[in-house]
Amino acid sequence: MRTFIVLLQKEFLQIRRNAFLPRLIIVFPILVMLLMPLIMTMDVRNVNVAVVDLDRSTTSRRIASHIEASEYLTLAQTNAEYPLALEALEEGAVDVIVQIPDHFERDMTIATPQRISITANAVNATKGGLGMQYIVQTIARTLAEMRGEKSPTNLSELVTIENRYNPTLNYRHYMIPALMIILFILICGFLPALSIVGEKESGSIEQINVTPISRLTFTLSKLVPYWIIGLFVVTIAMLVAWLVYGLVPVGSVGAIYLGALLFILTISGFSLTIANFSDTMQQTMFVMFFFIMIFMLMSGLLTPIDSMPEWAQKFTAILPPRYYVEILRSVYLKGTSIVELRTNFVVLSIFALFFNILAALTYKKQA
């Protein structure tokens, strides 16, 4: 135990001596939490719309003015002819074209009118798709409004929409838990691996290996500092989420810390295992990058797991971040309790145990 404390003191001393690490540990989480939620938004704004008005009626003008009034849509141009609008779409000046056919208003009162056509540039699939949806909603609302003026019941109020748990459909509230996980992966994943491979590169591990210290003690002394740092990082991240975005967990903070601890254990054990198999920092970095790409893109951090192909959904079962992001999101947004999330906690504990045992076993004092 005494030697363990000595080893731990040495690790902290080295972290403090490093010109770069202490700053990284404090500044990096704050910066990521401040900037990324502003940038990483899936809300589509500024969709440029061209209206080709062949009808030139009250209805068509009303549709155009509603488009102009929308928060998300910008009425870029009104054309008399479709080819002109198409040209603008090709040039990129316009994202969506709305063509209102001739006699649309007149036909509406008598029979099925000719349909309004919407053409969207879907190179940016999100913008095209969402822009199209916004326009359909806007047109539907306009038409409903006009019908409502003619009939006593207001049709538009027949449907009510409520987004449970994230009432304003704020994309940031969905992203912040994901960002916290990315922080853990980067800080608690990369740093312990680099610290142990750094000892290999500098040769100091040779001196350690000829001492009677057990490999478990040494491995632990490499891990524990980053566990503490990880818990510090989650605290910073939660503070920023609260102070800047007003996002407070609905559920218990304890559940978040418990999950964080298990996840940090997992990811640091994982990174040490990789470090045990590499001889240089470069090697470690590239192998870590490979796994981090998979963790970030396939664990449901950025895109929902449900929309992945079925084989990929099955594969996500072996990705630890998947379980923690579920915990974070449910605790933050729904207030789910530890008991309800027990499967996730149990799986994370198994991962944590597995990777740390693996790290201790693969650390070779002898070659």
- What is the spatial distance between Cα 316 and Cα 204, in angstroms, rounded to a whole number? 38
- What is the spatial distance between Cα 272 and Cα 290, in angstroms, rounded to a whole number? 15
Tell me whether residue 206 or residue 279 sits nearer to other proteins (CB atom). Answer: 206
- What is the spatial distance between Cα 147 and Cα 125, in angstroms, rounded to a whole number? 33
Tell me whether residue 208 or residue 261 sits nearer to other proteins (CB atom). Answer: 208
For residue 302, count CB atoms less than 10 angstroms from its CB and return exposed for 0-12, middle for 13-18, buried for 19 or more: middle
To other proteins, the closest distance from the beta carbon of 23 in angstroms equals 16
To other proteins, the closest distance from the beta carbon of 213 in angstroms equals 6
Tell me whether residue 208 or residue 350 sits nearer to other proteins (CB atom). Answer: 208
Q: Residue 93 in contact with residue 66, Cβ under 8 Å? A: no
Question: By three-state DSSP, how is residue 38 classified?
Answer: helix
To other proteins, the closest distance from the beta carbon of 208 in angstroms equals 8
Q: Residue 141 in contact with residue 133, Cβ under 8 Å? A: no
Alpha helices in 70-112 (DSSP H): 82-91, 104-110
Tell me whether residue 11 or residue 55 sits nearer to other proteins (CB atom). Answer: 11
Amino acid letter for position 102: D
Q: What is the DSSP string of 197-208?
A: HHHHHHSHHHHH
To other proteins, the closest distance from the beta carbon of 212 in angstroms equals 4
- What is the spatial distance between Cα 28 and Cα 25, in angstroms, rounded to a whole number? 6
Angle between helical axes of 171-184 and 215-245 (0-180°, round to 10): 160
Backbone phi and psi for residue 299, each to the nearest 5 degrees, phi listed first: -95, 10
What residue ranges bind other proteins (CB under 8 A)?
Answer: 2-3, 6-7, 10, 13-14, 17-18, 202-213, 365-367
Tell me whether residue 41 or residue 362 sits nearer to other proteins (CB atom). Answer: 362
Tell me whether residue 4 or residue 257 sits nearer to other proteins (CB atom). Answer: 4
Q: Which helix (H) or strand (E) holds 120?
A: strand 117-120
To other proteins, the closest distance from the beta carbon of 284 in angstroms equals 19
Report the candidate in 234, 228, 126, 96 with the shortest Cα–Cα distance to residue 177.
234
Tell me whether residue 13 or residue 140 sits nearer to other proteins (CB atom). Answer: 13
Tell me whether residue 281 or residue 350 sits nearer to other proteins (CB atom). Answer: 281
Backbone phi and psi for residue 354, each to the nearest 5 degrees, phi listed first: -60, -55
To other proteins, the closest distance from the beta carbon of 2 in angstroms equals 7
To other proteins, the closest distance from the beta carbon of 248 in angstroms equals 40
To other proteins, the closest distance from the beta carbon of 247 in angstroms equals 39
